Structure 1
Amino acid sequence: MKILTMMLADAADERLIPANPIQPRRRGRRRHQRRPEQLWATPEQVVAIALQAIALVGLWAAILIITAAWTGARWGELAGLQRINTHLDDGVIVIDPDIGALHEINGHFELGPPKTAASARTITLPPFLITLLRAFLDTHQHPHVFVTADHQLLRRSNFARRAMRPAADGNLDRIRPRVRTQPVVPGLHFHGLRHGHKTWMIADGIPEVGQARRLGHEIPDDIREIYSHVAPEVEARILQAPATLARRPRQPPRKPRHGHTQAPPARRLTTPPPGPAAPQERRPLLLPRPSRRPPEPAATNPCGTQPPPPPPTPLRRRKPTATAPSRPQPTGTRPGSGTFRTVGSDSWRSRSERDPINPWGQTFP
């Protein structure tokens, strides 16, 4: 069923049938996980990665990285670029529709068409890259532009392991490497240079048609695909986009959102201007004022005896407060004595209502 659907879809694209009678239903195949954002590099970071690639494998790796970042070409398009398609006098490189890409199949190389039909294009080069490629082509006589130091074709896995990964990620975790490199953009892949080139054009306000033509993309709208063209002024802006991005001032830091804290900005230390120092004001020394109260006479005790203790503080009765009527108290008799209250019979009263001298109200004969 799937093969039949693909055949009918191709027939509809070739105008052999009006439409595909079998419309595939993709219900329930939505992506529930967010796709991670592709890393990209600024022009300064690309130059830093290229300089470290020179120390790792050679000059050819640095020129390859810079060409990919400033043209937006794919890996296969640059690995399969030949001298006959490099027109430095005109300042362009041509991605041939038939042999414009180098394909690696089961360890063997084969020249073939690029990824899509729109990938066959002509890419304008900035002036500095023309000079760089002309000097690099004088160092070897290979039909391909980009080859290794041994004049061999490029293998993507070898380049990623030996040049791209150490140059972008750094090798601080390795013990005594041959060349020590610092991390620039950890996790950046070679295809991320293509993403960076598109980001540079977006930042410089290049129209969408100019971005699509340079990167070899197709515009979804058929009318825009047919009637949109790239003017020479747009090409000039594309070549100036990385330089404009590098000269652009940095944006001020964003204000922290609600609930997030931000460290206060550091204060700049400024030195006073040269000149005579201003005299400092002298303040009088403040001393405690003497007391005007006459001193108390010292207590004398000629006999050497201890003074008598102070008299006890008399107990003060508290005023009676209004209370509930007392309940009848149980009484008892003792032989030879009168009536008396039972000990503890008044225990229901609060402590504030009891007599401090006779709290239980006991009577004895």
Structure 2
Amino acid sequence: MIGGRPVLFAAVTIDLRTGTLHESAHSRWLGAPKTASSARVITLPPFLIGLLRQHLQRHDNEFIFTTKTGKWLWRSTFIRRVRQPAVNGNETMPHRRIRTVPIRPGLTFHGLRHSHKTWLIAGGAPEIAQARRLGHHLTNRVTEVYSHVATEVELRLLNDLQHRWHTATLNVRAHPAPSEPANRRLSGPLAA
């Protein structure tokens, strides 16, 4: 309880034995993550809990990103069908039923991790909370063994992420991107 209210967390668990989808040649399997510190529990801010619930209600599979039949996506298929259209948009691709504008052309999963780390730093999250959340191993053994992330710290971290989402959502609503690509004209030496 904090402030007289129960604390409810939703989390993603990355299991030490089966927490990562591996693929090689023509097979995929669940196996151990790259490092032991990659196995962790990642608490989720409320906005993400809501988005994941909405997404999972669209299918009856236990995994988040699957084919229509519930099978695991190949990494290349996920990148081509999900990530690239989301980050790069598909405005230049003909015959698309749904048009998407670019979010951040060229964005990668590793780029998302960098952004998340930056937000954690900006939000004042202690180094141990950052390391645990991102699956990093701290070289200072004393810090690693004796530091724990208190519930209050975790709540501040989640509240900061929730606030960032809310602010970004308001910003997008206040300054929506055009639905159709705008014709851009260059001026200066590049226009030639």
TM-score interval w.r.t. the shorter chain? 0.7 to 0.9
| CA shift for structure 1 position 177 | 3.9
**Structure 1-normalised TM-score?**
0.40
Q: Structure 1 residues 96 and 157 mapped into 2: Cα distance closer, same or farther (>3 Å)? A: same
The secondary structure found in structure 2 opposite 1:187 is: coil
Deviations 1:34-64 (A, max 9, x none): xxxxxxxxxxxxxxxxxxxxxxxxxxxxxxx
Q: Is the 8 A contact 1:98 1:114 kept in 2?
A: yes
Cα deviation for residue 174 of structure 1 reads: 3.4
What SS does structure 2 have at the residue aligned with 1:152? coil
Task: Report what 1:168 is aligned to.
Answer: 87
- How far has the Cα of 1:172 moved from its partner? 3.5
Does residue 215 of structure 1 match 2:126?
A: no
- Once residues 56 and 99 of structure 2 are traced to their aligned partners in structure 1, the CA distance between those partners, rounded to angstroms, is 29
Residue equivalent to 1:233: 152
Residue 142 of structure 1: how far off its partner (Å)? 2.8
Determine the C-alpha separation between the residues in 2 that align with 1:160 and 1:92: 24
Would you say how many aligned residue pairs link Structure 1 and Structure 2?
161
In structure 2, list runs of 5 or more residues that go unmatched.
1-7, 172-192
1:103 correspondence with 2:22: yes
Displacement after TM superposition at 1:164 (Å) = 1.5
Check whether the contact 2:45–2:161 (CA below 8 A) recurs between aligned residues: no
Give how far 1:145 is off. Answer: 4.0
1:92 maps to amino acid: A
Question: Deviation of residue 159 (structure 1)?
Answer: 1.5
Q: Distance in 2 between matches of 1:183 and 1:137?
A: 24
Contact 1:203 1:245 in 2 (8 A): no
Tell me the distance in 1 between the aligned counterparts of 2:46 and 2:96.
36
- Structure having greater relative contact order (Cα 8 Å, sep ≥ 6): 2
Q: Structure 1, residues 188-210: CA drift from partner, whole Å, max 9, x if none?
A: 11332222221211111111110
Give the aligned residue type for 1:222: R
Match of 1:64 in 2: none
Instruction: Provide the TM-score with structure 2 as the length reference.
Output: 0.72
Give the aligned residue type for 2:43.
T
**Who is 1:127 aligned against?**
46
Q: Measure how far apart 1:105 and its partner are.
A: 1.2
Match of 1:224 in 2: 143
Contact preservation (8 Å) 2:9, 2:44: no
Q: Which of the numbers 170, 190, 199 marks the counterpart of 2:109?
A: 190
The superposition leaves residues 89-117 of structure 1 with CA deviations (integer Å, 9 ceiling, x where unpaired) of 85222211101111011121111111110
| Counterpart for residue 99 of structure 2 | 180
Q: What is the CA–CA distance in structure 1 between the aligned matches of 2:151 and 2:78, rounded to whole Å?
A: 35
Q: Is the 8 A contact 1:201 1:211 kept in 2?
A: yes
Q: Structure 1 residue 149: deviation in Å?
A: 2.6
Asked if 1:201 corresponds to 2:98, the answer is no
- Asked if 1:158 corresponds to 2:72, the answer is no
Q: Write the deviation string for residues 264-322 of structure 1: whole angstroms up to 9, x where unpaired.
A: xxxxxxxxxxxxxxxxxxxxxxxxxxxxxxxxxxxxxxxxxxxxxxxxxxxxxxxxxxx
CA displacement at 1:176 relative to structure 2? 4.6
What is the DSSP-based 3-state SS (H/G/I as helix, E as strand, rest coil) of the residue aligned with 1:241? helix
Q: Give the number of the structure whose residues are more often helix, by fraction.
A: 2
Structure-2 change in CA distance of 1:136 and 1:164 (3 Å)? closer
RMSD: 2.5
Which 4+ stretches in 1 moved above 6 angstroms?
none
8 Å Cα contact 1:100-1:114 kept in structure 2: yes
